Amino acid sequence: MQTIKQTSPYVRKDVSTKRMMIDVLIALTPVVMFSIYRFGMDSLIRILVSLVVMVGLEAIAFGMMHKPVKSDDFKERFKSRYKDFTINNITAPAVSAIIFAMLLPSKLPIYAVVAGAGFGIIVAKMLFGGMGSNIFNIAAAGRIFIGLALADMFTGTYDGVDLIAGGTALTAIRTGAGFPYTLNSYPLIDMFLGNIPGSMGEISALAILIGMIYLLIRKSADFRVIVSSLATFTLLIFVAGLKLYPEQVVEYTLFHLLSGGILFGAVFMITDPVTSPTSRPGRWIYGILVGSIVVLIRLFGAYPEGVAFALIFSNMFVPLIDYPQWATNKYKPAFFIGTSVAILALVAIVFFGVGGIA
Amino acid sequence: MIEKTRFIPDGKKELKKLPIINYTDSKYLYYPVTSSRCADGETCVRGGQFVKVGEVIGTRKGAFFEQPMHATVSGEVVGTEKHMDQSGKSVDCLIVKNDFKYELHKTIKDRTDEEINALTKEDFVSIVREKSLVGLGGSAFPTYIKLSTKDKIDVVVANGVECEPNLISDYALMLTNPKAIIEGLIYAMKASGAKKGIIAIKKKYKEIDERLSFELREYSDYDIEVVKIGNFYPQGWEILTIKNALGIKIPQGELLSKYGVLNFNVSTLASIFAAVKHNLPVLERYISLSGDGITNQNFRARIGTLMTELVESVGGYKDIEIPKVLILGGPMMGVNVSQDDIVMTHTTTSLIVQNQVDLHEEPCIHCASCVYSCPVGIQPVQIMNAYKTRDKDMIKHLGINKCIECGLCSFVCPSKIHLTETMRKAKRFASK
Ligand code: SF4
Ligand code: SF4
């Protein structure tokens, strides 16, 4: 009998990266279903295009990045390049692809979908070294790329409101009739169910919440980032509401929570482990960072939609949060003091800042 | 998945149901002359000489202590042979041919209660030393050194947590011979001057709790309490046991005795009892064969028995065409050995035979499960990254020396990265 050398521990938990990716795919199904229900073929085609581009390009890039064995036989060389290619090299880009597609307006030209998906997978992922090595959220990077490169497509000058990205209701609040009246065209219940214009995956809060519950039950997403980003967002918007619309502050807060990509982002994008810090305090800080930047962009910024920007921006801080010299998994007093001070400062900025706008 | 993992499938349920077979009549018994703690050793018997149970047959020499070796059968010394010891190293072993009479050596005499009552701390220490008692939980640390502490001890903890999966040795002992544990605990309390005794067990072991509590009624003169602590891993790690049983937080690296605590494994206490009361060294231990590559079985076997015999007695390995991993001890912290030619020593309580499973390492996805799960609060993933760049200062700064090599980080990693091994390498690298 042959014995094998191994080192302890000799048992492993029944979990896998593959399972985690598949969980995210499962959690995305309600959102995907809803977008297909709302936008029909438009949605389906864009999802498929995004999938083909991301999964395909990752496979090609993967092959190019791995040295083949020396051999005259082309087949053998080809095979050796893909020796380490696993199911994760399919599921991971698939997750990115679907999330990316969900960020898009349903009528976005196909070549823009291709460009964004390609940029995301090649520049934001493979150039950084592939799975696990990317610094920026892939879907967010792809979305911002086309947002900047093909800016015209998102400004609504084309045809009709459906073209406008994420923040249609948000745009209305800034350029249209102003807050309390937007509720007439976008009642909160419709916003919750998804009966509004907007990006394909961001409109139905209900579908997103179902996905969130699944992810949390399976523990395939860290609740810390979801809670801290949403809590920060809610708190700051509430403060702004207090100043701007003291009578309707609850509606105002809900309106913001349900519009744009904050919910979708909090559940499916901020939770992306690869681009998150790796300690408990770090995850809380990260969520606060994303949540507050989204608020700042919404209240003071030029873009009606800021989740992707906030995310990419926060991604840059991850190495700083994780910097081994101070990162720790313990909740130290400094953490509590630091976050409290930061939140108070943010509250103050928002409270005094929005005065000017109102 | 992204969570703090504290439970590992414990694999004891099935083992507990199996009967315990006596395997105490081997024809030849083997006694390693050296051990991992004692690099040197010599025998004091010659080939052809007859020895009796409990007779000193040699001495193992460690850096600052010596341990007598004892025969566990009576019979003839027939030479030496190389076999593997607990650590997987090949060592010289003295062979004694069993004459199946089990005659006791003349020094093996019971002490009366009066004699025991008259024993001083020094007497206890010297008995424990003469009988070569060591930490039977697996540390094999000489018990007398622990017992001879100069610090003031308030409480002695009998650690019956046995948190590693697949081990049932302490469990079986607590169930079959709780008296020995309690008496041993009382001796340890007497020797150290502690007023209080605690028996720490897992919460889910209701049967043990009942058994011990029932026995304890006879000892109402002593302040001994059964404390049930959590079921999770690594609850048996003394710092966690003490924190949860007594509420005393002891920083890593400090001596327990400084905080007035002594911690003994329950089997060690039972061996103290046997040494003090009957003047006996450790003669037998419970040992189990488990894992999917072998018929599972529990034994009571004599120290010095060759593992090969136990394996043969259950019919050898299953599915021999599948390569196997042999593990001495538990699946989380046990020692990997290359064959079963192993001599049972004081700390041998389990052989696990696992069929080979292929693990494919994926890239780290920063899920942080390893960070959340580490019981000493260090960050395995960060240490791994620091080790990759060979950043010695950073590795030290990240607290590598706190790592107790519990195995949890490897256990939880969804990418199947062998973090624990990296921790060991980083530790070695940092201390170079
Ligand atoms: S092996 Fe070390 S680093 Fe890993 S979980 Fe255990 S103590 Fe922490
Ligand atoms: S090493 Fe494994 S457990 Fe730790 S963060 Fe990376 S993937 Fe997660």
What is the DSSP secondary structure assignment for residue B215, as one 8-state letter?
A: H
pLDDT score for A159: 36
Nearest to A278 among B333, B356, B366 (CB): B366
Q: How large is the average pLDDT for residues A6-11?
A: 90
Give the atom of ligand 2 at the shortest distance from the alpha carbon of B380: 4
pLDDT score for A303: 65
Both tokens of A230, joined, read 């949403």
pLDDT score for B359: 85
- Give the minimum alpha-carbon distance from B326 to chain A in angstroms, rounded to a whole number: 7
Q: Is the pLDDT of residue A9 over 50?
A: yes
- Rounded to 5 degrees, φ, ψ at B290 are -145, 180
Beta bridge partners of B95: B30, B79
- Give the minimum alpha-carbon distance from B383 to chain A in angstroms, rounded to a whole number: 9
* Boundaries of domain holding A132: 17-158+197-221
Q: Is the pLDDT of residue B290 over 90?
A: yes
Q: Is residue A210 part of a domain?
A: yes
Domain ends where: A221, A237, A272?
Answer: A221
Q: Is the pLDDT of residue A80 over 90?
A: no
Question: Which residue ranges of B make up the annotated binding site?
Answer: 364, 367, 370, 374, 403, 406, 409, 413
Q: What are B327-342's pLDDT values in tens digits? A: 998 999 998 988 888 9
Domain ends where: A221, A237, A259?
Answer: A221
Residues A44 and A50: their CA atoms lie apart, in Å, by 10
Closest residue CA from atom 4 of ligand 2 = B370
Dist. CA A280 → ligand 2 center (Å): 14
- Give the minimum alpha-carbon distance from A173 to chain B in angstroms, rounded to a whole number: 38
Residues B141 and B255: their CA atoms lie apart, in Å, by 14
pLDDT score for A358: 42
Residues A207 and A205: their CA atoms lie apart, in Å, by 6
Q: Are residues A29 and A85 in the same domain?
A: yes
Average pLDDT, chain A: 85
Q: Is residue A41 part of a domain?
A: yes
Q: What are A173-207's pLDDT values in tens digits? A: 555 556 666 666 677 787 788 777 778 888 889 99
Q: How large is the average pLDDT for residues B100-121?
A: 88
Residues B180 and B130: their CA atoms lie apart, in Å, by 19
Nearest to A15 among B320, B334, B414 (CB): B414
Q: Is residue A189 part of a domain?
A: no
3-state SS, chain A, equals CCECCCCCCCCCCCCCHHHHHHHHHHHHHHHHHHHHHHHCHHHHHHHHHHHHHHHHHHHHHHHHHCCCCCCCCHHHHHHHHCCCCCCHHHHHHHHHHHHHHHCCCCCCCHHHHHHHHHHHHHHHHHHHCCCCCCCCCHHHHHHHHHHHHCHHHHCCCCCCHHHCCCCHHHHHHHHCCCHHHHHHHCCHHHHHHCCCCCCCCCCCHHHHHHHHHHHHHHCCCCHHHHHHHHHHHHHHHHHHHHHHCHHHHHHHHHHHHHCCCHHHHHHHHCCCHHHCCCCHHHHHHHHHHHHHHHHHHHHHCCCCCCHHHHHHHHHCCHHHHCCCCCCCCCCCHHHHHHHHHHHHHHHHHHHHHHHHHC
ipTM field: 0.87
* pTM, 2 dp: 0.88
Q: What are B141-186's pLDDT values in tens digits? A: 889 988 888 889 999 999 998 888 889 899 999 999 999 999 999 9
In the CATH hierarchy, which fold is given to the domain comprising B113-278? Rossmann fold (3.40.50)
Q: Are residues A206 and A256 in the same domain?
A: no
- Give the minimum alpha-carbon distance from A130 to chain B in angstroms, rounded to a whole number: 9
Q: Is the pLDDT of residue B80 over 80?
A: yes
Instruction: Give the best residue of B366, B369, B378, B410 to mutate against chain A (max A CB count within 10 A).
Output: B366
Q: Is the pLDDT of residue A301 over 80?
A: no
Q: How large is the average pLDDT for residues B123-127?
A: 91
Domain ends where: A167, A187, A221?
Answer: A221
Q: Is residue A164 part of a domain?
A: no
pLDDT score for B24: 85
Q: Are residues A23 and A89 in the same domain?
A: yes
Q: Is B419 in the pocket of ligand 2 (CB under 6 A)?
A: yes
Question: For chain B, what is the radius of gyration of the CA atoms?
Answer: 22
Q: How large is the average pLDDT for residues B266-279?
A: 93
Q: Is B415 in the pocket of ligand 2 (CB under 6 A)?
A: yes
Instruction: Enumerate the CATH 3.40.50.11540 domain ranges in chain B, comma separated.
Output: 113-278
pLDDT score for B186: 94
Q: Which of B1, B3, B370 to mutate to test the pocket of ligand 2 (most atoms within 8 A of CB)?
A: B370
Higher confidence at residue B34 or residue B402?
Answer: B402
Q: How far is CA B27 from CA B73, B95, B96, B100, B347, in A?
A: 10, 10, 9, 8, 21
Q: Is the pLDDT of residue A150 over 90?
A: no
What is the phi-psi region of residue B198: left when phi exceeds 0, alpha when psi lies from -120 to 50, beta otherwise? Answer: beta
> Which amino acid makes up residue B371?
V
Both tokens of B37, joined, read 């703690």
Q: Which of A93-97, B20-24, B369-373 has the lowest mean pLDDT?
A: B20-24
With an 8 Å Cβ cutoff, is A1 touching chain B? Answer: yes
Query: Would strands B335-337 and B40-43 be described as parallel, antiparallel, or unpaired?
Result: unpaired
Average pLDDT, chain B: 90
Q: Are A132 and B364 in contact (CB under 8 A)?
A: yes
As a whole-number percent, the residues of chain A with pLDDT over 90 amount to 46
Interchain pair A13, B412: CB under 8 A: yes
Q: Are residues A215 and A229 in the same domain?
A: no
Q: Are residues A212 and A291 in the same domain?
A: no
Dist. CA B400 → ligand 1 center (Å): 9
pLDDT score for A78: 83
Q: Is the pLDDT of residue A171 over 70?
A: no
Q: Is the pLDDT of residue A305 over 70?
A: no
Q: Is residue A174 part of a domain?
A: no
Q: Is residue A183 part of a domain?
A: no
Q: Are residues A202 and A279 in the same domain?
A: no
Q: Are residues A256 and A334 in the same domain?
A: yes
Dist. CA A80 → ligand 2 center (Å): 27
Q: Is B367 in the pocket of ligand 2 (CB under 6 A)?
A: yes
Q: Are A102 and A166 in contact (CB under 8 A)?
A: no
Q: Is residue A179 part of a domain?
A: no
With an 8 Å Cβ cutoff, is A20 touching chain B? Answer: yes
Q: Are residues A134 and A57 in the same domain?
A: yes
Q: Is the pLDDT of residue B122 over 60?
A: yes
pLDDT score for A192: 83
User: How many domains is chain A built from?
Assistant: 2
Q: Is residue A136 part of a domain?
A: yes
Q: What are B1-39's pLDDT values in tens digits? A: 788 888 888 888 888 888 888 888 889 999 998 887 788
